[in-house]
Structure 1
Amino acid sequence: MDERTVGVVVRILPNPEQREGFHQNFGCVRKAYNETLGKYNALYEKDKSIRPTYTFLNKLMMESKKKLPYLDAMESTSLQQSIRDLSRGFDNFLKNRHFNYPKFHSKKENRNSFRQTIPANKKIINKNKLSLRRYGEVRFRTSPEYMELLNSSDIKFNNVTIAYDGIHYYAIINITTDLPENLPLTGEKIGCDINSNINGWLVTSDDVKEFFDINHENQMIKHINRLMSRCRKLSRRWKKLQKRLQKWYNKRTNKLKDYIEKLTYNLVKEYDVIVFEENYATIKILIGGEQNMVFPLSQFIQRLKNKFELYKPQAEGVVFVDAKNTSKTCHHCGHINKELDVKTRHWICPECGEKLDRDVNAAINILNRWSPGDSLENTQ
């Protein structure tokens, strides 16, 4: 059977000594990355022919370890992985113009994390305990489904990333396992119109409107920010409110991720073809009241593609069509209402008298413009 590589996220419960060691490693990984990037930049200024290969960058990092003894005291594979990330950043920059030149990591802008490699054929999971180099066994929590998967003898462990979000500690365990069974083909297809969240951010040709509500989370974030503005910075109350604020940020992010995962799976399970307008990446969807959050459309559609590849590789999957005049064209008779403005959500076709919902009508037209085998490439 074919294999796939996946990451399983579990919440870990380190003891005080392990937590202290994690934070030391977070700082050392960031320091090794920044020292290596700084040294390469200085050398490149003198000699433009120097290439940022992993071997060369790792050599620069080893020189830093000699001058900074505390780096040498850290777990070695996590430092090497940070240099591998830097090397990958340079490769992306040199090969693709959409990637930026690698930047220095700051404590504020970059998440606290480090990654350890795992020797071949080594099992690092024993029931509810995760074995880490240097730090020993750490208890973790996860769902019964993932607990069974991680304790299975059929998987291969590749690496593990330890991360801290300001409140909780997590382990992202990279494993290789068998592909899941394919979902059966349904023969169903659907058109999707991207819209504002007020009228349903996603409207389908089946007259289903998807809403995503994080207004409560946004209001709590706004409220806590207001309370923090009245406190002296770094005071005991300010620090307490900061943790509370981080908690609500995490809730909002997790709610969004969970929503995307569940919705994409359900769509892939029910439909074989999902048709979108080709310019979806240029549309911003604002969610909530005064504090808006832009819905990650590109991430949503990429997850759809991934799930089709994983669960229904034989299906047509996600396709794109030209969406010009799909809102203004009556799907019943084909008449184009050129006088239709953006604010009008419901209209009656002057040609055939059909009552139309602007967004559902657009979704039906998007579906009708697709024929099997035809698709426009995403230009993003």
Structure 2
Amino acid sequence: MKKISVIDWRIDDIMGEYIRGVVVKLHLTHEQEVMFKKNYGCTRKTHNELLNKYKTKYGEDSTKIPTKKELNQFLKESKKELPYLCETESTSLQQARDDLHKAFKNSLKSKRHNPPKFHSKKKTRPSFRQTIQKEKRPVKNNTVTLRKYGKVTFSTSVEYLDLLNHPNTKFNNITVYYDGLNHYASFNIKTTPPEQLPLTKIHIGCDINSNKNGWLVTSKGQKEFFDIYHENQMIKKINRLMSRCRKGSRRWKKLQKRLQKWYNKRTNQLKDYIEKLTYNLVKKYDTIIFEENYNTIKILIGGEQNMIFPLSRFIKRLKDKFQLYKPEAEGVQFVKSHNTSRTCHHCGHINKELKVKTRNWKCPKCKKTFDRDVNAAINILNRWFNGD
């Protein structure tokens, strides 16, 4: 069975433990599925009601952060006004309240975080979160016990099943969500840190591209390709078929499930690829150097845009894995990106006439022939060594 990737982690210095997330697939009965979907809707409704009461009290453009006591009072009022909220699991509504309070605090701390917005049914992923009582273990073998919903069976790999059943594993909370086809549970757990990887004293430079030569090229000549062309073509095909059907018909609903399946497959492939590639890079190298001003790139396959690759997520996972597996290593470093492709790494001559489409070029001074991207990756590595 395919392993479920790690969602998140952080080191806990006091306890000597680290927090991670493990996702499992749930297998629900019909009654449980109905109750879950009701809880999804009530959690979203709670968020919107609390936000609406806040804006009614303080105004649309207010920057004041409400206290937990105020939000709790809003929650009590909402339960009186909407009695059906009391029919769902209570801690999930309290978690929605706490998430809203955290969103207000984050919007004040950094400009990157926008003020809280209303959750729409179409754009918000259906989910709810339950807390775990201290010294209680919700998992036994392949069964998880959820408040109000009873025992639910799940499936995952043997490795993660053993981790969830380990006596030293402590559970913080459980997030249940729906991806349009299946229900999943994400366990937030505390466990012992994994063994650290040995230092290799090997460093590489990495050049990021948007061409057929590989989206990532290293100074060692390694080229990385990520191809989901088939998945994209299937998504386009199903969208064309859906456009010919009446919306809401039986065939339209059947195609909608197929479409969601391909969307999920594409997303899971990307997550799995990033997790495996980042771990392998951290295992091999102590320092990985990139150019500054990275964001996203368009990966091309056969001259056609295949996808927009999330570079920010990729580099963040690299930093996380260095902190977890090699905290003493240099980790991810950055250098200036000016003329990395045009500069000959052998003699230092800058070829100002080099065009963007030229993938291989010959240095006019030393007569050496280079692969454009490998040459750029070597220059990136050399700039870090020279402290530029």
**Same fold by TM-score greater than 0.5:** yes
Distance 1:303 1:49 in 2: 33
Query: Secondary structure of 2:384's partner?
Result: coil
**CA RMSD between the two structures:** 1.6
The aligned counterpart of 2:53 is 39
The aligned counterpart of 1:102 is 116
Q: Return the match for 2:160 from 146, 150, 154.
A: 146
Q: Equivalent residues in 2 for 1:230-269 (5 A)?
A: 230-269=244-283
TM-score with structure 2 setting the length: 0.93
- Structure 2: state its 5+ residue gaps: 1-14
Shift in alpha-carbon separation, 1:105–1:47, aligned structure 2, 3 A: closer
Kindly provide the CA deviation profile for residues 259-312 of structure 1, in whole angstroms up to 9, marking residues without a partner as x. 00000000000000000001122x522355766421000000000000000000
Kindly provide the CA deviation profile for residues 61-113 of structure 1, in whole angstroms up to 9, marking residues without a partner as x. 11100111110111110001111111111111111111111110011000010
Query: Secondary structure of 1:295's partner?
Result: strand
Q: Equivalent residues in 2 for 1:340-359 (5 A)?
A: 340-359=354-373
Number of aligned residues: 373
The aligned counterpart of 1:369 is 383
Distance 2:47 2:202 in 1: 49
8 Å CA contact retained: 1:189, 1:272: yes
- Structure 1: state its 5+ residue gaps: 376-380
The aligned counterpart of 1:286 is 299
The aligned counterpart of 1:378 is none
The aligned counterpart of 1:81 is 95
Bigger mean CA offset, 269-278 vs 95-104: 95-104
8 Å CA contact retained: 2:228, 2:306: no
Percent of pairs identical after alignment? Answer: 64
The structural deviation recorded for 1:197 is 4.4
8 Å CA contact retained: 1:222, 1:291: no
Q: 1:189 is aligned with what amino acid? A: H
Shift in alpha-carbon separation, 1:64–1:95, aligned structure 2, 3 A: same
The structural deviation recorded for 1:50 is 5.3
Distance 1:26 1:319 in 2: 42
TM-score with structure 1 setting the length: 0.95
Asked if 1:28 is matched to 2:17, the reply is: no
Kindly provide the CA deviation profile for residues 177-207 of structure 1, in whole angstroms up to 9, marking residues without a partner as x. 1111100011111000000142200000001
The structural deviation recorded for 1:56 is 1.3
The structural deviation recorded for 1:3 is 0.7
Query: Secondary structure of 2:103's partner?
Result: helix
Distance 1:22 1:140 in 2: 15
The aligned counterpart of 2:170 is 156
Q: Equivalent residues in 2 for 1:320-359 (5 A)?
A: 320-359=334-373
The structural deviation recorded for 1:53 is 2.1
Distance 1:293 1:367 in 2: 28
Kindly provide the CA deviation profile for residues 238-266 of structure 1, in whole angstroms up to 9, marking residues without a partner as x. 00000000000000000000000000000
Query: Secondary structure of 2:172's partner?
Result: strand
Bigger mean CA offset, 263-272 vs 286-295: 286-295
Asked if 1:228 is matched to 2:234, the reply is: no
The aligned counterpart of 1:318 is 332
Distance 1:287 1:168 in 2: 31
8 Å CA contact retained: 2:55, 2:62: no
The aligned counterpart of 2:316 is 302
Q: Return the match for 2:228 from 214, 219, 225.
A: 214
Bigger mean CA offset, 169-178 vs 291-300: 291-300
8 Å CA contact retained: 1:5, 1:177: yes
The structural deviation recorded for 1:120 is 1.0
The structural deviation recorded for 1:231 is 0.2
Q: Equivalent residues in 2 for 1:192-211 (5 A)?
A: 192-211=206-225
Distance 2:205 2:64 in 1: 51
8 Å CA contact retained: 2:299, 2:305: no
8 Å CA contact retained: 1:202, 1:210: yes
